[in-house]
Structure 1
Amino acid sequence: MNLQTSMACTFTRESAVALADFAALCEQTVNATDYPHCTEVQRNVVIYHADSLHEALRSDPRPLMAELHQLFRQGPGVMVVRQGYSDPDVVDRHSQVFNAIFAQQDQAGHAADHFARAGTNGRIWNSLQKAAVHSPESFIEYYANPLIGLIAESWLGPHFQTTAQVNVVHPGGRAQQPHRDYPLGFQTVDEVERFPLPLHVLSQYLTLQGAVAHTDMPLETGPTLLLPFSQQYDLGYLAWRRTEFIDYFHQHAVQLPLHKGDLLFFNPALFHAAGNNITPDQHRMANLLQISSAFGKPMESLDRDRMMQALYPVLLKRLAHNELDAQGLAAVIATAADGYSFPTNLDTDPPLQGLAPQTGQQLMLEALAQRWPFETFVQHVNLMRRKRQA
């Protein structure tokens, strides 16, 4: 390719998409030997069992993390973890938290998601912060699961930023439009065309989509339709609205039933859509995890200082009673607090001991290690907030 051709390909338009190129990628087949930690492959979706992931965590997680990273980009782009929560009571207790939050919300007429009609779904935006404030005890029990962080770090690296949204698809709920996700998936075609094509690819590395099944999800309830390998098509952010790509999706997408406590993760560029819930009486509930790289902008704004302060007394109590191990503690703090030093105000928050100022995660770990009283911790959180303000 000469320089002029290369420059022309840097900025591209919707007219450049080609269904044949897309289909050639999507019609690959997974070779299970590429994923030695997996249990099986079903319809090109790689299936893991939580026990094997926990075993890798106890030994050396790096081979598994490399395997997962390859899966999300060069592989099918989607994985399931069976029994990601081995104790269904943990999931049920957090479902009760969500139901209490639903009861406090006015759901009439404005509960739609980005790709479904209003009234189809029940939606809790920013379920992460709302759950932390409503029930710190349940939040800690639920997010102490280290597998979420293991999978997130495999794709995004450390200091990722978790956000979450609850979605309940009611009986009779209709399917979503097939789509790609945030960030570029939430932009118009005209806006996407303004970004150089390498940025289309780069955007995939800025988020990871996940879900925790809070109910059993047989096929008739409409679990997510997935098109393995579709994330490999670099022009996909320009293509997913086109009729021929939508038709291809409906002809080739796969669905897997999920059980309560299973985990689903996929590359945000994977073509996917929630399915039809054709049951008369089953409400399909999932906690949708949208996890961002330290270098990206999350979709939702969270008050992480408030979350830290809500969780700290309960964490202190659990540590005093040996009710939380180091792995679980690290998982909770990684979910709740900011692990990256920037952006900040370097005039008031200078890097006094190294190249970067203290993070919220570092502050929380220091406070818990030294068993600071709650009032002392609050003072330090407020001081950190003031130092970081412009």
Structure 2
Amino acid sequence: MHNMKAFEASLTPHLTLEDYPFAVDFSAHIPIYDGDQLRALDAQSIAQVQAEWAHCWQHGAGVLVVRKLYDQVAVVDAVTEVFYQLLHEQNQKPQSSGDHFAAKGVNGRLWNCLEKLAVTHPQAFIDYYKNPLLAQLCEAWLGPDYQLTSQVNLVYPGGAAQQPHRDYHLGFTNDKEVARYPLHVQIMSAMLTLQGAVAHSDMPVESGPTLLLPYSQRYEYGYALYRDPEFVDYFAQHAVQSPLQKGDGLFFNPALMHAAGENVSTDVQRMANLFQISSAFGKAMESVDQQRMQLACYDQLKASHLSAEELSAAATALSDSYPFSSNMDRDPPAASLRPVSGRDLLIQALSEQWSLEHFSNALQALNWRKASH
């Protein structure tokens, strides 16, 4: 079980600039790299700096900054213009988007920017994502065949800070759900995702750039810790911030404790394009139509008198039990950080004795909520 003394002990020893040979600066334990220098590296040096990044994310501060990740600010500005256009269109609709770890409506949240940018402005998408340096960062943690997703977060002057947290996957759970996963799975889960952010505006400290707790990804029990009031107090006292300029990139281990900061400025609309870069390995070997299976077995399941344990086992074998991926516009965070899964729906249907037709209609509605458009 977690405890604060063990957590604090895990934060040491600290590293220094000498531990990051390719970094050009070091601030609040965070190594800072220069994008122009990185673009000039040969293949051998690229491999060395990628190993340095991976060590930082796993064993070091857990976070790094790349100045001038984009050397052409015009590329970032063109995408920013599209994001504002998409946010304006979204705001004309009656339903406002939910958010993770922040109150609904306090900022501008644009989900699935990857697809929306590609289908709205293909040239802007290509100019933005052809960046080899971005690909090198992704591959340093995940190897080839990674999968990108992105969301825009726009925090207005006066926007409140987020709650400190860890991120997707297990960050989007509650303590009871975390406890269902063996510790080795909790540790492994951080290897499946790299978090990143590209600054689409200058982000001085007063605008509330991300609050970070260096080295906090080291603590193995951290997914069950971050809601603890004692930890929240510790985070408030020890978290650091790294101001960014437009086109800079920030990349961190999803297990790093962090939170968007409070925007106390009077005139800065802080915009970031947030990345969740996912491992290729979180997929089953075969394509299986779980909903077809569920419908085929539904009447027999209703007629069977299974124990709770038997029903749970059968439902898991029949279902897409994990609720992600989903469409966060149609399936926004609400009372729970996790949307409904196919398994959740099957268990509910059996508990409430739905007809096969009712269950089939509910599955179609679930498909619609999860479809990207």
TM over 0.5: yes
2:74 maps to 89
Partner Cα separation in structure 2 for residue 22 and residue 205 of structure 1: 20
Shift of the alpha carbon at 1:108? 5.9
* CA-to-aligned-CA distance 1:114-144 (integer Å, 9 cap, x gap): 0001111101100000000000000000111
Return the letter of the residue paired with 1:40.
Answer: D
Return the letter of the residue paired with 2:18.
Answer: T
1:247 maps to 233
SS in 2 for 1:85: coil
* CA-to-aligned-CA distance 1:140-173 (integer Å, 9 cap, x gap): 0011111111011111111100000000001110
Distance 1:157 1:110, change over 3 A: same
Q: 2:169 aligns with which of 172, 183, 186?
A: 183
Q: 1:44 aligns with which of 8, 29, 35?
A: 29
Return the letter of the residue paired with 2:9.
Answer: A
Partner Cα separation in structure 1 for residue 253 and residue 213 of structure 2: 11
Matches within 5 A, 1:123-272: 123-272=109-258
Partner Cα separation in structure 2 for residue 169 and residue 26 of structure 1: 30
Shift of the alpha carbon at 1:111? 3.1
User: Where does the alignment leave 5 or more consecutive residues of structure 2 unmatched?
Assistant: 289-373
Partner Cα separation in structure 2 for residue 213 and residue 25 of structure 1: 30
User: Conserved in 2, the CA contact under 8 Å of 1:112 and 1:122?
Assistant: no
Q: 1:77 aligns with which of 62, 66, 79?
A: 62
Shift of the alpha carbon at 1:344? 4.1
SS in 2 for 1:71: helix
Q: 1:102 aligns with which of 61, 67, 87?
A: 87
* CA-to-aligned-CA distance 1:325-357 (integer Å, 9 cap, x gap): xxxxxxxxxxxxxxxx95547xxxxxxxxxxxx
2:260 maps to 274
SS in 2 for 1:285: strand
SS in 2 for 1:86: coil
SS in 1 for 2:41: helix
User: Conserved in 2, the CA contact under 8 Å of 1:111 and 1:121?
Assistant: no
Shift of the alpha carbon at 1:51? 1.9
User: Conserved in 2, the CA contact under 8 Å of 1:32 and 1:38?
Assistant: yes
1:367 maps to none
1:368 maps to none
**Structure 2 residue 29 is matched with structure 1 residue 64:** no
SS in 1 for 2:250: strand
User: Conserved in 1, the CA contact under 8 Å of 2:67 and 2:248?
Assistant: yes
Partner Cα separation in structure 2 for residue 57 and residue 182 of structure 1: 33
Shift of the alpha carbon at 1:58? 4.9
SS in 2 for 1:56: coil
Partner Cα separation in structure 2 for residue 97 and residue 41 of structure 1: 34
Return the letter of the residue paired with 1:67.
Answer: E
Return the letter of the residue paired with 1:261.
Answer: G
Shift of the alpha carbon at 1:109? 6.2
Distance 1:199 1:84, change over 3 A: same
User: Conserved in 1, the CA contact under 8 Å of 2:14 and 2:60?
Assistant: no
Return the letter of the residue paired with 2:252.
Answer: F
SS in 2 for 1:105: helix
161-170 or 20-29: bigger deviation:
20-29
Shift of the alpha carbon at 1:27? 4.5
Distance 1:109 1:276, change over 3 A: farther
**Structure 2 residue 13 is matched with structure 1 residue 28:** yes
Give the paired residue count: 288
SS in 1 for 2:82: helix
Partner Cα separation in structure 1 for residue 88 and residue 261 of structure 2: 25
Return the letter of the residue paired with 1:137.
Answer: Q
Distance 1:108 1:267, change over 3 A: farther
Q: TM-score if structure 1 supplies the norm length? A: 0.71
Partner Cα separation in structure 1 for residue 286 and residue 252 of structure 2: 28
User: Conserved in 1, the CA contact under 8 Å of 2:207 and 2:264?
Assistant: yes
Return the letter of the residue paired with 2:54.
Answer: H
Q: 2:4 aligns with which of 9, 15, 19?
A: 19
User: Conserved in 2, the CA contact under 8 Å of 1:112 and 1:121?
Assistant: no
